[in-house]
Amino acid sequence: MEVRLLRIDTLYRQLAPNPGTPAPPVRALPPSVVEDPYEIFRPDSPRNPFKTEALRWRNLLIFMLLRLGLRRSEAALLHTNSFKEDFDPGAGKSVHWLDIEETEDIDPRYEQPGLKTEPSRRQLPLSQEIVDLALHYIRNYRGRANYPYLLISQKAKPLALRSFGKMFEIVTDALSDRAQESLRNKGLRALLSRSAAHVGGHSHEAESGCRQRRGQGTGEAARVLRLVQVLEHAAPLCLGLLRDQAGGGLGREVRPLRRRSQAHGSGGRPLNTCRRA
């Protein structure tokens, strides 16, 4: 018996249980980091690190789309005609939404974007703020391209997925010293494209009716007003609704857009993205 126990001890002496899986890091942005990106992405901000107006407006649009909760691959899939509008008889006004879906268009990108899951194909209600920003970018800065995708590189080709990460690396370098220290204290090395969702709203909040909690109205209203001032300075694109939201309408509930069946398409009509004379 002793011999057998000694043999077993010799055979299995080096074995050890696998170490436990460490808990995933907390990805929520520190409070001191939340406000900084709004200032940095402003096209007229002296802290904006991007050189051309076209880059500044395109990157602001990317940031505002990602803060809704879109993944970078979903933003890269968007077309210029993904923005839709229709008249809602119940609300008595036009409503806007974004069709998030894959298409069969030619895509020259080496790493092609796609939807993560089937439920990712959805309609996302939009505020007038995002619609005006998208129209301003399309009409003035997107330029002519041989591809229908919304986000275009400086070489007039669809924006590569890796460009999203590079953009946030540049923005991280532009953060204030206090914000960068807060990131390090959280164990975060840089802002990521998915971090934008922590700065603003989230897509499932928008899909469930764009609910805004009344207790969050003050900070959000200030951010909306800042963006309104930037957009008005560059191009007055019918921003009356934004002033209403910033002036106290942020507590109102917006009726969610009724999802239409896939067999009949998304419905609605694309926004008029033609340049204005």
Q: CB–CB of 73/116 below 8 Å? A: yes
pLDDT tens, position by position, 217-255: 445 445 444 554 544 444 333 343 334 434 433 333 333
Per DSSP, helices labelled H in the chain are: 2-12, 31-34, 36-41, 53-66, 72-77, 128-140, 161-174, 177-185, 196-199, 203-207, 217-234, 240-246
DSSP 99: E
Of the candidate ranges 8-17, 48-57, 109-118, the one whose mean pLDDT is the lowest: 8-17
Q: Quick one: pLDDT at residue 41?
A: 93
Given this model, what pLDDT does residue 105 score? 85
- 76: exposed, middle or buried (Cβ count in 10 Å: 0-12, 13-18, 19+): buried
* pLDDT surpasses 50 at 2: yes
- Looking up tokens 């979903």 gives 74
Helices (H) and strands (E) in the chain, counts: 12, 4
How does residue 272 score in pLDDT terms, banded at 50, 70 and 90? low
Mean pLDDT, all residues of the chain? 74
Least confident of 11-20, 152-161, 165-174, 196-205: 196-205
Q: What is the CA radius of gyration of the chain?
A: 23
Tell me what the mean pLDDT of segment 89-112 comes to.
88
| Residue 66 near residue 197 (C-beta atoms within 8 A) | yes
pTM here? 0.67
Domains and CATH numbers, the chain: 28-270 (1.10.443)
Of 84 and 14, more confident: 84
Cβ–Cβ < 8 Å for 253, 211 = yes
196 against 163, higher pLDDT: 163
**Predicted confidence (pLDDT) at residue 144 exceeds the cutoff of 80:** yes
Q: CA 78 to CA 97: how far, in whole Å?
A: 12
**Burial of residue 98 (number of CB atoms within 10 Å: 0-12, 13-18, 19+):** buried
Q: Which of 14-23, 82-91, 242-251 has the highest mean pLDDT?
A: 82-91
List, edge to edge, every strand of the sheet that includes 93-100.
122-126, 93-100, 83-88, 269-270
